[in-house]
Structure 1
Amino acid sequence: MQNFVPAHTFHKRHGAPRRGPANAFRYSVDYVLVDLAKSHEWPSLLRHNSMGLFQIRDRDHGGVRGNGDGLDWVHMVLAARGFDFDDAQILLLTQPRMAGYLFNPVSFWLVMQEGLRVVIAEVNNTMGERHSYICHHTDLRAIEAGDTLVAQKVFHVSPFQDVAGHYEFRFDLAEGHVGVRIDFRHDVDGVVGGLVATLAGPREALSNRALLHSMLRRPLGSLRATVLIHWQAIILALKGARFFRRPEPPEDEVTGGPA
């Protein structure tokens, strides 16, 4: 199960800023859905822990940002919670490094055992920090497309959103499609706010041709996402959106679970 996912992401704020309408934007982004334990099956342009035009490195995922442990970290997190998923397939949905550069606003570890059982959402901010939210049902039954999984927000992502409220996650991992919806809602001083973010796209064969097409279509790779995030921050500032100071990150690197 190795896929290329030419996706679109959509973001829209709940509630309008002081000036102008509610902020919303949509752009295309390329992800891969891969099994790191079977990286020998990847096309030659995508490398695991070695130099290449496209790379996925363990240090970029799982644990402390820039010093991650990849799959070993996922197994450690599952074992610490008493989950018995030794026979599970663990997939990573992420943007790969392109020409050495990487910034992933969010990646997802997907624990598969007769369906999707656990998701670990790896959230990165633009200040070099990371926090992960673990999502699953109390009884660890399979996560279906219509299910909503809740996690309290504990990590600072945007200066225009408070560290308050909760996330509502939905995951749709169909045979030919990937869909993720994150609905963040909070109530600050009686004002309801937040945002909804989606990621959706078809699952195609992971091939050198698909990767090269991605590079030609979006030569900046994940650098484009960084530029767009800062551009949207400028727009929100001009619209008079409320600014929240960055708090200290949580001590625990993983939070979440059934609410």
Structure 2
Amino acid sequence: MTGPRPPALPGRWGASVYECRIGHVRTTPLRHAFDHRTHLWLVDLDRLPPVPAALRPLASFRAADHPGAPGLTLRQNLDAYLADRGVQLDGGRVLMLTQPRALGHVFNPLTLYWCHDPEGTLVCTVAEVHNTYGQHHRYLLPATPATVPKEFYVSPFFPVDGAYRMRLPVPDERLDLTIHLDRPGGRAFTATVRGVRRPAGPAELLRATLRHPFATFAVSLHIRYQGIRLLLRGLPVHPRELRERSRTRRREAPTP
């Protein structure tokens, strides 16, 4: 049984845009730190922003950009993933934090889903990780902070070992996320996301685009640039395991 729908997120489109600073600190075997600015969207999977057709090239939310069956919606695919793990939301709200597809491109190293029951209680959080090899993996967190074993190859400079400790509170006026990677010998890496909410609408979409043009391209390029810097500093590369190569992301079917 489903309860009454919660009120829409603030803003003309029932969504929020967070002006963000994303930080990365690597501590072993050498120290390397950097940060960059971008914007992220918080949307309700049952009330995706009604972006007008003229502005849709700047922001669109497509199921094909995330794991699941291409013919299903974002909500249907997430519900199927949760059902396979014994979690039923019974129609409760799901909030997704992500970067939308823009100018024909999208790359999200991390997409988060906060999953609620019909009464509005947080049931679980899903952390969806994508790497630059076209692969993805989801971590199901019953609550946060939570510690989960690392199961997915992300950076070529870390093997698939250790555990993530994730602190992922539901965003409100501010976005404040922290993920630590603990490996044998101590903490190896920390990522943080800090942001301030702005109500989503046409003016905010245009403002965010002007402040961060080609934002999703910039993320991909920045990751590769930092990788080159680490290679030049002599950091050894850990090759992908064969089992990781089989986890390929479902691509969007071409449109006629």
Is TM more than 0.5 here? yes
Q: How does 1:100-179 map to 2 (within 5 A)?
A: 100-113=104-117, 114-137=120-143, 147-179=144-176
Match of 1:249 in 2: 244
The CA deviation at 1:209 is 1.0
Match of 1:26 in 2: 35
The CA deviation at 1:71 is 1.2
TM-score norm. by structure 1 comes to: 0.82
Q: Which of the residues 198, 216, 227 maps onto 1:204? A: 198
Match of 1:236 in 2: 230
- 1:210/1:216 Cα in 2 relative to 1: closer, same or farther (>3 Å)? same
The CA deviation at 1:73 is 1.5
SS where residue 98 of structure 1 aligns? coil
SS where residue 244 of structure 2 aligns? coil
Match of 1:224 in 2: 218
SS where residue 15 of structure 1 aligns? coil
Cα distance between partner residues in 1 of 2:51 and 2:187: 43
Cα distance between partner residues in 2 of 1:84 and 1:204: 31
SS where residue 191 of structure 2 aligns? strand
Match of 2:5 in 1: none
- 1:56/1:13 Cα in 2 relative to 1: closer, same or farther (>3 Å)? same
The CA deviation at 1:42 is 3.2
The CA deviation at 1:45 is 6.3
Cα distance between partner residues in 2 of 1:162 and 1:207: 42
> Are the counterparts in 1 of residues 45 and 93 from structure 2 also a CA contact under 8 Å?
no
- 1:46/1:117 Cα in 2 relative to 1: closer, same or farther (>3 Å)? farther
Cα distance between partner residues in 2 of 1:69 and 1:124: 19
The CA deviation at 1:193 is 5.4
Tell me if 1:6 matches 2:19.
yes
Cα distance between partner residues in 2 of 1:243 and 1:200: 29
Cα distance between partner residues in 2 of 1:46 and 1:121: 31
Match of 1:44 in 2: 52
Q: Which of the residues 78, 82, 96 maps onto 1:78? A: 82
- 1:6/1:45 Cα in 2 relative to 1: closer, same or farther (>3 Å)? farther
Match of 1:215 in 2: 209
> Letter of the aligned partner of 1:164 in structure 2?
D
Deviations 1:125-145 (A, max 9, x none): 1011111111114xxxxxxxx
The CA deviation at 1:46 is 9.1
Higher strand share: 1
> Letter of the aligned partner of 1:224 in structure 2?
A
Cα distance between partner residues in 2 of 1:158 and 1:46: 37
The CA deviation at 1:252 is 8.2
Match of 2:67 in 1: 62
Match of 1:181 in 2: 178
> Are the counterparts in 1 of residues 114 and 170 from structure 2 also a CA contact under 8 Å?
no
Cα distance between partner residues in 2 of 1:67 and 1:193: 41
The CA deviation at 1:81 is 2.4
Cα distance between partner residues in 2 of 1:121 and 1:246: 21
The CA deviation at 1:53 is 2.6
Match of 1:143 in 2: none
> Are the counterparts in 2 of residues 107 and 123 from structure 1 also a CA contact under 8 Å?
yes
SS where residue 154 of structure 1 aligns? coil
SS where residue 88 of structure 1 aligns? coil
The CA deviation at 1:101 is 0.8
> Letter of the aligned partner of 2:65 in structure 1?
D
TM-score norm. by structure 2 comes to: 0.83
> Letter of the aligned partner of 1:207 in structure 2?
G
Cα distance between partner residues in 1 of 2:40 and 2:65: 15
Aligned-pair Cα RMSD in Å: 2.4
